[in-house]
Amino acid sequence: MSTLEAWIATYPGANQKYLAETIESLRAQGIEPHVQNDERLPHEKWNEAIECCTSDYLALPHHDDVYTPAWSKELTAYLDAHPDVVAVFCLDYLINEDGVRTGQTKGDWEPKDTYNFKDIFGLILSHGTPLRCETVIFNRKVLGDLRYPDRTVSGTAQDTQFWYEIADKHPIGIVMKPLVKYRVHPASDTQTSVIRNGKVLDGWNARIYGSKIRPQDVEFNHVIALFSKYKEIEDAQESERLRIQSQTGGCEFLVCHEPPDNAGTGVVVAHRVRTLNRCGDGITLYYVFPVDGADIDIR
């Protein structure tokens, strides 16, 4: 009979009410979870769980979600029947801070027995991220040496980056039933790290990363969708970088007689300004172009 371990990554000061409810929902299924209560980053805790897991299967429940009795039963049964699958996910209900159901993720695509890289890339691009991190159960043997990446490439969307990496090696499963209650509340990691801190574009960075793993499996319309986000991502990252740099270092102003989009001097100077700012010497250089009716126009 296959065995399952559950590891919960949480932090000192996390809402103990939610954590207690999560643990209770797992114990009701005969699972006694390991709790990693420290300040390490999520991928560090998840990788520790992978490395320390001694069971056939590994789950990484989130500390504020609730797991229905059928979750472990149905997902482990799926893995038993598909020994080559690296990970299986399920759909979920949405609940608020009081546990009241507010919605449900829609599995409005044609279900498949298993999903390959091309399938997963298309699903994530078309449906956001239907592979919820809190629902996953891994086949530890198939997972092998694969590990969650750090935040270098995709920031807070490192889990999505990982789905591409594992789908590049092995098939993935999705049980098309809502078996987890995903809690949406003001103090959740998604709300604090992604929504309020402006990290929404991290998901697109992960998609762009995925497109480079198997470009032969990325359809033309998907490429168009990705390219449509390039400028938005680049502008957002540049704005954030300049904001941080201007707060921590000095700044200089370069006054130019032409606008930065001018096909002559303006374009050349603007390019050099961006290049100098990327040098990271602590000085932010602003392109300034005087316009009618204003003192300066900072680009």
Whole-number Å distance between alpha carbons of 52 and 175: 26
Q: Give all domains of the chain, ordered by start, each with its CATH number.
A: 4-216 (3.90.550.10), 218-288 (no CATH)
What local confidence, expressed as pLDDT, does residue 175 receive? 98
Q: How is residue 14 annotated by DSSP?
A: -
What local confidence, expressed as pLDDT, does residue 297 receive? 39
Residues of the chain falling short of pLDDT 50? 191-192, 194-198, 293-299
What local confidence, expressed as pLDDT, does residue 30 receive? 96
What local confidence, expressed as pLDDT, does residue 50 receive? 98
What local confidence, expressed as pLDDT, does residue 296 receive? 41
What local confidence, expressed as pLDDT, does residue 294 receive? 41
- Judge if pTM exceeds 0.85: no
What separation in angstroms does the CA of 34 have from each of 46, 48, 56, 62, 138? Answer: 11, 11, 16, 12, 16
- Which tokens sit at 210? 């995925």
Q: How far apart are the first and last CA of the chain?
A: 64
What local confidence, expressed as pLDDT, does residue 48 receive? 98
What local confidence, expressed as pLDDT, does residue 281 receive? 62
What local confidence, expressed as pLDDT, does residue 144 receive? 97
| CA pseudo-torsion sign 152, 158, 161, 163 | positive
What local confidence, expressed as pLDDT, does residue 151 receive? 92
What local confidence, expressed as pLDDT, does residue 214 receive? 92
pLDDT tens per residue across span 181-205: 999 876 665 544 544 444 567 888 8
